[in-house]
Amino acid sequence: MFPATVKINLSHILANWKFFAALRPHCRMVPVIKSDAYGHGLPQVAEALQKAGASHLAVFTTGEACTARQAGFRGEIWVLQGILPDEIPIAAELSLTSACWSLENSRLLSEYGQSHGLNWRLHLKVDTGMSRLGFMPAEVPAAISALQALPNLELRGCFSHLAVSAQPEHPVTRKQVQTFRDLLPLLPECCRENHLCATEGILNDLAPELPFARPGIGLYGYTETAAFAGKLRPAMSLQCRIASVKTVPAGAFVSYGCQHQLQRDSRLAVLPFGYADGYPRCLSGAAELLLQGRRVPVLGRVCMGMIMADVTDLPEVAAGDQALLLGQQGEASLWADELAAKAHTISHEIICGLGKYPQRVWEQP
Ligand SMILES: *Cc1c(COP(=O)(O)O)cnc(C)c1O
């Protein structure tokens, strides 16, 4: 059968990054390329950002940082989940900047630094309301003192992460921003690289005075903040060729569970793509795709490796034609935020999932 193809438009990612940079000219926009750059290919995205002049990247793990270095990224890399004990030697070799949320871990880094004659750049992670990684705000003064007493550590920055940043007026958002601002005077002079906002925080103008921010989903073209939805360019499209077109009589059921019964004699296009390829099964009964610049409904349940679309109203459609499950065709477009809304999830999960299995091609900037 014909393989489905995810196309990644790298110039859209760069354009989105520049869009963020223009919103806050005094602020360094550090692209978040964790989880295989949200399905867009970590090495390819890192390489494109290197060529475009990015000075920093943020990843979750040392392994991801390693991939970015192998792709030729020479700037500073922030490891947001911190460096695990057995990763310390490789992290030192790659000159990574580590999140710091555990003194025990910092001691290991310090010991390694002393025995190998190198300093670690650390960013203190504070939990202002996510209840995820990080020191509690009340623990921060003691943590700073403890870190300052450890040799070969440079506390360069402090950061936190917002829980409901698409809602700037939410009491938790207000409290998180205030808590973070209250911490800033407690930080030592050397701790200047402070950052709080990801995509929605930036677009909702939260803590604009900070010198760094960490946009992720926005770089790939998505935001929940309606005012900016049309301004970002989705970078991932997904095309799939029709394997078979057939005529099925009225009254027949389509797909597993007999959830859809045809009301008329219909032409159905079968496409070799399903939930095993990252197309959520919970889109069953609600999905659409693009063919010949028009939307057509996907009927019945999404199968593991196939879906059936109703092309009765498009008599010219034939096997081998290219359908778009994500993308733009003529006037019609269909993007991951729409799929996400129907699948009761967020665009992040859709693009991470779709980027995992189909073959990918990268359109170079
Ligand atoms: C994922 C992540 C980001 C980026 O978030 P987006 O909502 O995708 O912009 C920033 N900071 C941290 C700590 C993250 O985990």
Do 56 and 202 reside in the same domain of the chain?
yes
Q: Exposed, middle or buried: residue 122 (CB in 10 Å: 0-12, 13-18, 19+)?
A: buried
Residue 116 located in a structural domain: yes
Residue 343 located in a structural domain: no
Q: Tell me, what DSSP letter sits at residue 24?
A: S
| Mean pLDDT value of segment 304-326 | 97
CA 322 from chain center: how many Å?
27
Do 55 and 204 reside in the same domain of the chain?
yes
Residue 359 located in a structural domain: no
Verify whether ligand 1 is closer than 6 Å to residue 32 (CB atom). Answer: yes
What confidence score (pLDDT) does residue 40 get? 98
Q: For all residues of the chain together, what is the average pLDDT? A: 97
Do 131 and 246 reside in the same domain of the chain?
no
Mutate to test the pocket of ligand 1, among 20, 80, 346 (most ligand atoms within 8 A of CB): 80
Residue 46 located in a structural domain: yes
Q: What is the pTM of this model?
A: 0.96
Residue 173 located in a structural domain: yes
The CATH number of whichever domain residue 263 belongs to comes to: 2.40.37.10
Q: Is the pLDDT of residue 275 over 90?
A: yes
pLDDT per residue over 216-261, tens digit each? 999 999 999 999 989 999 999 999 999 999 999 999 999 999 999 9
Dist. CA 316 → ligand 1 center (Å): 44
Range of the domain at 258: 236-334
Verify whether ligand 1 is closer than 6 Å to residue 134 (CB atom). Answer: no
Dist. CA 359 → ligand 1 center (Å): 26
Predicted confidence band of residue 1 (pLDDT cuts 50, 70, 90): low
Residue 174 and residue 162 in contact, taking contact as beta carbons nearer than 8 Å: no
Residue 43 and residue 55 in contact, taking contact as beta carbons nearer than 8 Å: no
Tell which atom from ligand 1 comes closest to the C-alpha of 80. 13
Dist. CA 221 → ligand 1 center (Å): 14
Do 214 and 265 reside in the same domain of the chain?
no
Residue 95 located in a structural domain: yes
Do 169 and 22 reside in the same domain of the chain?
yes
Q: Which of 18, 175, 246, 256 is catalytic?
A: 256
222 is catalytic: no
The CATH number of whichever domain residue 28 belongs to comes to: 3.20.20.10
Residue 3 located in a structural domain: no
Do 22 and 170 reside in the same domain of the chain?
yes
Do 99 and 217 reside in the same domain of the chain?
yes
Do 63 and 91 reside in the same domain of the chain?
yes
What confidence score (pLDDT) does residue 2 get? 65
Q: Which of 7, 18, 34, 342 is catalytic?
A: 34
Question: Three-state SS string across 221-276, please?
Answer: CCCCCHHHHHHCCCCEEEEEECCEEEEECCCCEECHHHCEECCCCEEEEEECCCHH
Tell which atom from ligand 1 comes closest to the C-alpha of 32. 4
What confidence score (pLDDT) does residue 3 get? 80
What confidence score (pLDDT) does residue 229 get? 86
Do 180 and 285 reside in the same domain of the chain?
no
Do 212 and 330 reside in the same domain of the chain?
no
Verify whether ligand 1 is closer than 6 Å to residue 214 (CB atom). Answer: yes
CA-nearest residue, atom 1 of ligand 1 = 216
Do 129 and 268 reside in the same domain of the chain?
no
| Mean pLDDT value of segment 267-281 | 97
Question: In whole angstroms, what is the distance from residue 265 CA to residue 109 CA?
Answer: 69
Q: Is the pLDDT of residue 289 over 90?
A: yes
pLDDT per residue over 46-78, tens digit each? 999 999 999 999 999 999 999 999 999 999 999
Do 210 and 246 reside in the same domain of the chain?
no
Count of structural domains within the chain: 2
